[in-house]
Amino acid sequence: MSHFFAPALALAACLAVTSPIAAAPIEPTGLPSLGESADEGLSIASERRLGELLMRRIRASPGGFLDDPEFEDYLSRLAQRLVARNDNTRGHAFELFGVQAPSLNAFALPGGFIGVHTGLMIQTQSESELASVIAHEIAHVTQRHIARMLEQQRQSGGLMIASLLAAVLAARSSPDAAGGLIALGGSMQMQQALGYSRDAEREADRVGLSMLQSAGFDPQAMVSFFGRLQAANRLQEQASQSYFRTHPFTGERMADIQNRVLSMRYRQHVSSLDYQLVRARLAALAHRDPKRLTEQRATLERQLATAAIEPVVAHYALATIALTLEDRPQARAAIEASRIAQGREIPHPMIESLAAQIELSDGAPAAALAVVEPALARNPDSRALMRLKARALFEGADSPEEAAAYLREAARQARQDIVLWELLARAESTIGRTGQAHRAMAQRYALSGSLPAAVEQLEIAARSPTLDFFEASEVDVERRALRARFIQESELLKGLP
């Protein structure tokens, strides 16, 4: 079962039982009424709002959550490909995010939020293997396992709210801590949940495998992935214990997957360059210690010399390490070698993004902008390139008004990007638009889970003379909505850590 899946579901059930406002009408910024069973039609929107609540708590807690727009954007593209031809996904929204943890794991939260540990990205050996895990987690969402578990937990009285929310937060980076906290909830309920989770896992296998095949990935990858984990688990328990502890796995499940794959037509899938670059960068930066980075560089150079790795990927990873070690000449040489190795007229956006980062780190915003603008024109949805253009404009300081104007547009386009809102606040403040700066900072705090700070920023903004009548009216609406949401969540989470 998913790493957050069981505690998050049980938490939702507890909220349904104990919340004094659970029966209140749902407002646009409010929380769902969670007393309804799956049969009574727990709405997808209600699950989404519960997931948003949990995500705010996760973002507000230190550590674990990885702010990496290239990783997130890649995961989103992968998920979009998986759901594109699947009718069961209609009506669902999916938001994938990274978790900085070496453990091999992924998890589904209510509402389509799916977390992927960096350890999973690094340890998979093909894009189809990674896709098989993501498809499995998507299936947990589309098959309404959350709504079903809510009803099961409601009928058995739920578990201790405090221990469960603590488990959700601890589970980001410590499966052992989460498991210990969940156990506080009581044996009978957990036995029932685990018994059901095995059924859910089998169903997620079946639906995920079908999704994998429909999207053009190699279904055999699911067999090879779990088979390799089983072998590693027998030889060295820690190698795969994180995934198997949270995803109960049996020989029967493995046999069922194998039998289904045998009836499918073999389809070879070559891992995309996106997958290879993201994986290489995360692997290169898995350890930030200079000694370990130097060792990693030597390993890559040996692999490059023996043709054990694609040159474009090796040079990109070498440039990443060189930049981290602040060896900018070597970083420039490596990124240029990666461009040449790609052998295309149009360089990959991740390669250009790293090239721009090298220039910015060297105090050359104009050179960075010259790299970013054509790359962004070809890839207008790249949040990494949006951030880099904003930084280049802002740090160039030739036209702070131009930087602010661009950031307003970028923040509206990528509304969930915390960094863009923070940069916008700085840009607005630089040109004297203090009210607008506080309003942008309110968005930044709200996205990171700090609702009181967001409300405070809006109250300061409301007193600013730089807002016109329409902006002041919008700020008032935003302030009331955030205050109501904060009060509602405070009541739900009263007494929790």
d(CA 207, CA 455): 43
Whole-number pLDDT of residue 81: 95
Evaluate if residue 206 carries a pLDDT over 60: yes
Comparing 161-165, 209-213, 272-276, the range with the smallest average pLDDT is 161-165
Whole-number pLDDT of residue 336: 97
Please identify which residue in the block is written with the tokens 């929380």. 31
| pLDDT tens-digit map of 399-427 | 789 999 999 999 999 998 999 999 999 99
Query: Phi-psi category of 124—alpha, beta or left, where left has phi over 0 and alpha has psi -120 to 50?
Result: beta
Whole-number pLDDT of residue 305: 95
Query: Confidence class of residue 92 from pLDDT cuts 50, 70 and 90?
Result: confident
Q: Indicate whether 64 belongs to any domain.
A: yes
Whole-number pLDDT of residue 338: 97
Q: What percent of the chain has pLDDT over 70?
A: 75
DSSP conformational letter for 241: H
d(CA 236, CA 244): 13
Evaluate if residue 258 carries a pLDDT over 80: yes
Question: What's the number of domains the chain is made of?
Answer: 1
d(CA 269, CA 219): 10
d(CA 55, CA 112): 11
Whole-number pLDDT of residue 164: 44
Query: Phi-psi category of 27—alpha, beta or left, where left has phi over 0 and alpha has psi -120 to 50?
Result: beta
DSSP string, 247-261: S---HHHHHHHHHHH
| Average pLDDT of the residues of the chain | 80
Half-sphere exposure (Cβ direction) of 105: Cα atoms closer than 13 Å: 28
More confident position, 181 or 385: 385
The 3-state DSSP class for residue 99 equals strand
Distances (CA, A) of 381 to 109, 377, 413: 25, 9, 8
Report which secondary-structure segment, H or E, holds 77: helix 69-83
Q: Indicate whether 178 belongs to any domain.
A: yes
* φ and ψ at residue 40, rounded to 5 degrees: -80, -5
Evaluate if residue 448 carries a pLDDT over 80: yes
The predicted model gives 90-116 an average pLDDT of: 86
Query: Confidence class of residue 367 from pLDDT cuts 50, 70 and 90?
Result: very high
- Positive or negative CA dihedral for 317, 320, 321, 327? positive
Instruction: Describe the strand order of the beta sheet including 65-66 as a list of residue ranges.
Output: 65-66, 95-99, 113-117, 106-108
Q: Indicate whether 21 belongs to any domain.
A: yes
Whole-number pLDDT of residue 11: 31
Whole-number pLDDT of residue 352: 97
d(CA 391, CA 383): 12
The predicted model gives 457-480 an average pLDDT of: 96
More confident position, 347 or 181: 347
Query: Confidence class of residue 434 from pLDDT cuts 50, 70 and 90?
Result: very high
The predicted model gives 468-479 an average pLDDT of: 96
The predicted model gives 434-446 an average pLDDT of: 96
Whole-number pLDDT of residue 255: 82
For the chain, first and last CA: distance in Å? 25
Whole-number pLDDT of residue 493: 62
Q: Indicate whether 496 belongs to any domain.
A: no
Query: Confidence class of residue 214 from pLDDT cuts 50, 70 and 90?
Result: very high
Contact in structure between 97 and 116 (CB atoms under 8 Å): yes
**Residue-number span of the structural domain to which 248 is assigned:** 5-262
Which residues are bridge partners to 108 per DSSP? 114
Contact in structure between 110 and 137 (CB atoms under 8 Å): no
Which residues are bridge partners to 115 per DSSP? 97, 107
Of 334, 328, 292, nearest to 313 by C-alpha is 334
Evaluate if residue 70 carries a pLDDT over 90: yes
More confident position, 51 or 37: 51
Q: Indicate whether 480 belongs to any domain.
A: no
Query: Confidence class of residue 17 from pLDDT cuts 50, 70 and 90?
Result: very low
Given the DSSP bridges, would you call strands 113-117 and 95-99 parallel, antiparallel or unpaired? parallel
